[in-house]
Structure 1
Amino acid sequence: MRIGRVLTADGPRHVRAEGDRLVPIEDPYAAYAAGRSPADDGEAVAGELLAPAVPVVVIGVAQNGPEHHSPVQAWLKSPRTVTPSGTAVSLRRDAGTAVAEGEIAVVIGKATLGLTAHNAHEYVLGVTAVNDLSSPDRAEWDPRNFESKSGDGYTPLGPWIDTDADIDDVTLTLEIDGSIVAETDSRELPMAIRDCLAYIAAWSPLGPGDIVMTGAPHSQARVLPGQTVTVTVSGVTLVTPLV
């Protein structure tokens, strides 16, 4: 199932994709906690697609790319930087080089108490696409990634959560202006997604709707204003025009 959120005349609603139709559904996190798929909740609706989750916590996994030899570490990114697919993002002009990092985003389905590497998939609602926009030149002064990752709109997310994805085998493609610059998958991550989740859950609780960005396995590129970044994860395509 592909789950999203849409802004209707009555406010935001969770929906599932059925071809071109947007079918309202009940709270998918409550359904997930009950061990079932969310039930339909009304007739098809129309409206603007929003980011598919409203996280309280957004966690990035650092040093989970092939060029790193040190252990992975987690870091926090402001949930207020999350923005929907199709929304233009203004790159900072005061932070040096801008980089798009195409990543697999894991959407947590329920509280992570008891999560281990063995059972991590039992806590995941699904995966979606994320573009972890960054200003890496700031890392020289900012090892905690606060300045380098905090631009307005610097976490484009969505537009759908793929609930059928296998967290051990997720495809990832990064395109700039329609040209593919990276084709990779979760198996290229030095630390597997389930191990990342177990590491994070051992130190900090996560809950429904929270997001874990799992790292960039060869999937980053310098970007400039005027370009369009497309990240595709498990068939979910996220498009971000840059200005």
Structure 2
Amino acid sequence: MKLLRFKKNGRKKNGVVINGGVVEIEHSVLEASQSPPDDFKRKNFYSLDEIKIIPPVQPSKVVCVGLNYRDHAEELNMDMPEEPVLFLKPPTTIIGHNDSIVYPPYSQQVDYEAELAVVIGRDARFVNFEDSLDFVAGYTSLNDVTARDLQQKDGQWTRAKSFDTFCPLGPWIETDMDPSSQKISMKINDKIKQNSNTKNMIFPVEELISFISNIMTLKAGDVIATGTPPGVGPMHVGDVAEVNIEDIGILQNKIISLE
């Protein structure tokens, strides 16, 4: 089941993707992810070209995982981490499908990073491995946009990861999929730049949820970005970036300048 948030005539609505279109529902996306579809009170039907898709959730935080693909570690000639390496992106970085990524004038190299994102369905604290998926609302696609030159200059990641528009998310949440075996790719202007599978993750989704929830409370709607596969590289103004995850679909964004 694919759940999304969208705008129609300037009003925010919630919906489920059915037969190539969207059925409006009264449940919120998070409520719907925890409810059987027969409980949905359904309203209007729209085609996808009639609506403006917006980010599927508004998280209090985006918790990101660095170096979580074996093939990416091998590409960088780096040792496998013994435990997840974490950093945060602020919620002001989030944009939706077909929104524009703004290339900041402070950077000379802005990179793409295709990632599987986990959406938390209910508050999670001190969760064990075995129960961790019970706290998941679903999964979506994410582009962890990074000002690579600023990351290298600063020696830490906050500024490089935190510019407004640096976290495209969407287009919707897929509630029924296996996160442990998903093809994941990034295209820039229709050319494949990253191409891997989530089975190459060092730390699986269950371990990430348990590990993070033992550090900080994951609130309903929070997002975990699970790391990027090999092939990371630069984007330029005018490029179109497409994250494609097998059971989710395509998250597309164009890169623009402030000028």
Q: Same fold (TM over 0.5)?
A: yes
| Match of residue 158 from structure 1 | 170
Residues 157/138 of structure 1: CA separation in 2 closer, same or farther (3 Å cut): same
Cα deviation, residue 230, structure 1: 0.4
Cα deviation, residue 129, structure 1: 0.7
1:129–1:157 CA contact under 8 A, matched in 2: yes
| Match of residue 18 from structure 1 | 18
Cα deviation, residue 209, structure 1: 1.3
Match of 1:122 among 134, 143, 147: 134
Cα deviation, residue 41, structure 1: 3.1
Percent identity among equivalent residues? Answer: 21
1:236 aligns with 2:237: no
CA RMSD of aligned residues (A): 1.8
Residues 49/31 of structure 1: CA separation in 2 closer, same or farther (3 Å cut): closer
How far apart are the structure 2 equivalents of 1:143 and 1:4? 37
How far apart are the structure 2 equivalents of 1:60 and 1:176? 22
Per mean C-alpha deviation after superposition, the further-off stretch among 3-12 and 102-111 is 3-12
Cα deviation, residue 51, structure 1: 1.0
Per mean C-alpha deviation after superposition, the further-off stretch among 108-117 and 81-90 is 108-117
Which one has the bigger helix percentage?
2
Matches within 5 A, 1:125-144: 125-144=137-156
How far apart are the structure 2 equivalents of 1:168 and 1:40? 32
Cα deviation, residue 31, structure 1: 4.3
Corresponding letter in the other structure for 1:53:
V
| Match of residue 7 from structure 2 | 7
1:170 aligns with 2:182: yes
1:224 aligns with 2:236: yes
How far apart are the structure 1 equivalents of 2:32 and 2:250? 25
1:107 aligns with 2:132: no
How far apart are the structure 2 equivalents of 1:72 and 1:5? 31
Gaps of 5+ in 2: none
Gaps of 5+ in 1: none
Per mean C-alpha deviation after superposition, the further-off stretch among 202-211 and 213-222 is 213-222
How far apart are the structure 1 equivalents of 2:147 and 2:69? 17
Residues 143/119 of structure 1: CA separation in 2 closer, same or farther (3 Å cut): farther
2:125–2:216 CA contact under 8 A, matched in 1: no
- Residue 5 of structure 2 aligns to a residue whose secondary structure is strand
Cα deviation, residue 55, structure 1: 1.0
- Residue 129 of structure 2 aligns to a residue whose secondary structure is coil
How far apart are the structure 2 equivalents of 1:172 and 1:125? 20
Residues 219/170 of structure 1: CA separation in 2 closer, same or farther (3 Å cut): farther
Cα deviation, residue 36, structure 1: 3.3
Cα deviation, residue 40, structure 1: 3.3
How far apart are the structure 2 equivalents of 1:97 and 1:165? 34
How far apart are the structure 1 equivalents of 2:182 and 2:136? 13
Q: Deviations over 1:134-185 (max 9, x none)?
A: 0122223434411101122111111111111112222211111101122212
How far apart are the structure 2 equivalents of 1:10 and 1:139? 37
Q: Deviations over 1:48-70 (max 9, x none)?
A: 11111111111111232332423
